[in-house]
A and B are shown apart, each in its own frame.
Chain A
């Protein structure tokens, strides 16, 4: 499904304003072919220190993080950093109602669970590799 068929949400060459909770968090991340990768679970910011000072230049977004944050989003607390998969911001191609990347999902750490289920379970069931007819 190509996003160019759907109304544009604004060009990326202007000073567009977005709010993190409204427009970034929980949005779908798609790879360059439109295959779903994961959802935006958190965002890594640079330029803010947690104990004072350091606000000379505006902080920027360094990366998107994704992981199993369901429990922590409801009940609170924080997942250890090692459990969050990082997608660097340079890989982002487009922000609309979904986030589109410039790379393929295969090359990302974040898609490991999908690849595991595919390789260990689904491809072992007869007919798994064929398109339905």
Chain B
């Protein structure tokens, strides 16, 4: 079912960033509604529809955790951020895509992998990631980009 195909990654990615189930559903609802409202303005030239929807989902999730109200909860979360490798491994249901993404993540250097998972699943900015990993800003920008390029080639994204 299409709903599952998109609703599951939409909810999953929001849940990963936001953590709290009730807040995650709220954000997911906002996303579904935004997709519904602006479907006629979707521009296929800008990339695939799944990418469009999931970009909205990730950005809304980020907005939520970066808002001032969430600041306190976040401080708390830093301590319990699991190993990036577990982030992916802990996922609820094994699937081909998950295995593939995991395999490709496994092919990165540790810093590349950590910076990507902290930024994407953790919702941290590259500056925060640099601070968390204790590397320079210039290094983190490069690690993230190089890591994603390797991921892209590994996944076979055109």
A and B interact: no
